[in-house]
Amino acid sequence: MKVFDCTVIGGGPSGLSASLTLGRARRKIALFDDGTNRNRVTQESHGFLTRDGINPQQFKELGLKELKNYPSVSYFNTTITEIIKVKDQDRFIVKTPNGQEYITEKILLATGIQEIFSIPTIRNYYGKSLFSCPYCDGWEQRDKPLVVIAEKEEHVLHLTKLVYNWSQDIVVLTNGIQLSKEGIAELQKRNIQIKSEAIKALIGYDGLLQKIEFVTGEILHRSCGFVAPSFYRPNHFAEKLGCEVKENGKVITDGVGRTTQKNIYIAGETEKSRPTSLLISAAKGNKAAVAVNTDLTMERF
């Protein structure tokens, strides 16, 4: 059975970047991806120099096309269901749903994170008319009448202050949560309206928001805005492999992708369980790949 130098799990910007760096270093790489990248729901990705406004799927396809220039990189469009450490060996077995097994010396986790919405129907509009990152989508929403939907005061204040840079016409919806007097005063000094009534329904068509209905029967007409989701890692590979993880979900590393477990590396949003940009994720993938290649070089020289 072919033994890979490193298996990269996740084909987002960090995984693609890591695979490119390792491919150029002539390492035998297996890249696994199942198409669940968090940005797949949006129409455009922004802030990546020379690729501003690119469709996420096109970005991915360009990355995969570039990897074809490096014959030591193998791409598998499937999910990894299990990673097993081989006893008394510096090797791992990775398994897929169809029973396929692959052997690898090192693992690079780049599976990213996913959103949780307290209002499930937000997902119907997410990426088309409701967004979570003003840096990614604020420019396109500039000067429009916006909603900010958030349910923790710290998230309400942080997100609203950011969004205010792009539009001053904001209505904050807390979905039944009462803000403190200090929080209310801070927003009202900018004439930002706050509605604390619980949300009954988001109404729109084909991903385009038209209005919000509250349990009181009141209707607010707004066609776009920003939301503050919670985030989680979609798997527990890091914990199962013995990597140290802080209470806030951050995986402890040396700053360049090495975890506390030998031969296990991590990159992109997976590390901190927090959202970040394409550019930063790609840079993190590059740094982790350099760490992988450095370790392989020193171990084999």
Which CATH number belongs to the domain containing residue 136 in this structure?
Answer: 3.50.50.60
Question: In this model, does residue 189 exceed pLDDT 90?
Answer: yes
The pLDDT, as a whole number, for residue 77 is 97
Give the C-alpha separation, 49 to 263, whole Å.
32
- Asked whether the predicted pLDDT for residue 116 surpasses 90, the reply is yes
Residue 259: its pLDDT value, please? Answer: 98
Distance from C-alpha of 214 to C-alpha of 27, rounded to nearest angstrom: 56
Compute the average pLDDT of residues 14-40: 97
- Write out the residue range of the structural domain in which residue 156 sits: 116-227
Tell me the percentage of the chain whose pLDDT exceeds 90.
97
Do both 7 and 108 map to the same domain? yes
Residues 250 and 104 in one domain: yes
| Domain end marker among 212, 227, 242 | 227
Residues 109 and 248 in one domain: yes
- For residue 262, pLDDT over 90 is answered with yes
Where residue 88 falls among pLDDT bands split at 50, 70, 90?
confident
Quick check: 228 and 130 in contact, CB under 8 A? no
Query: Are 125 and 220 in the same domain?
Result: yes
188 pLDDT more than 80:
yes
Domain count, the chain: 2
CA triplet 33, 39, 43: central angle to 5 degrees? 125
Confidence at residue 64, expressed as pLDDT on a 0 to 100 scale: 98
pLDDT digits (tens, 9 = 90+) for 280-293: 999 999 999 999 99
Q: What is the pLDDT of residues 136-183, one digit of tens each?
A: 999 999 999 999 999 999 999 999 999 999 999 999 999 999 999 999
Q: How confident is the model at residue 298 (pLDDT cuts 50, 70, 90)?
A: very high
- Average pLDDT estimate for 25-35: 97
pTM for this predicted structure? 0.95
Q: Do 69 and 216 lie in a common domain?
A: no
Q: Does residue 63 share a domain with residue 92?
A: yes
Task: Give the pLDDT score at 282.
Answer: 97
Same domain, residue pair 73 and 169: no
Q: Domain boundary residue among 169, 198, 227?
A: 227
Is residue 28 domain-shared with residue 106, that is, in the same domain? yes
Domain boundary at 166, 192, 227, which?
Answer: 227
122, 222: one domain? yes
Give the tens place of pLDDT for each residue, 196-250. Answer: 999 999 999 999 999 999 999 999 999 999 999 999 999 999 999 999 999 989 9
Say which residue, 55 or 1, is predicted with more confidence.
55
Q: What is the mean pLDDT of residues 28-32?
A: 98
Q: State whether 144 and 172 are in the same domain.
A: yes
CA neighbours closer than 13 Å in the CB half-sphere of residue 101:
9
87, 108: one domain: yes
Burial of 49 (0-12, 13-18, 19+ CB in 10 A): exposed
Three-state DSSP class for residue 89:
coil
User: pLDDT band at 30, cuts 50/70/90?
Assistant: very high
- Do 240 and 108 reside in the same domain of the chain? yes
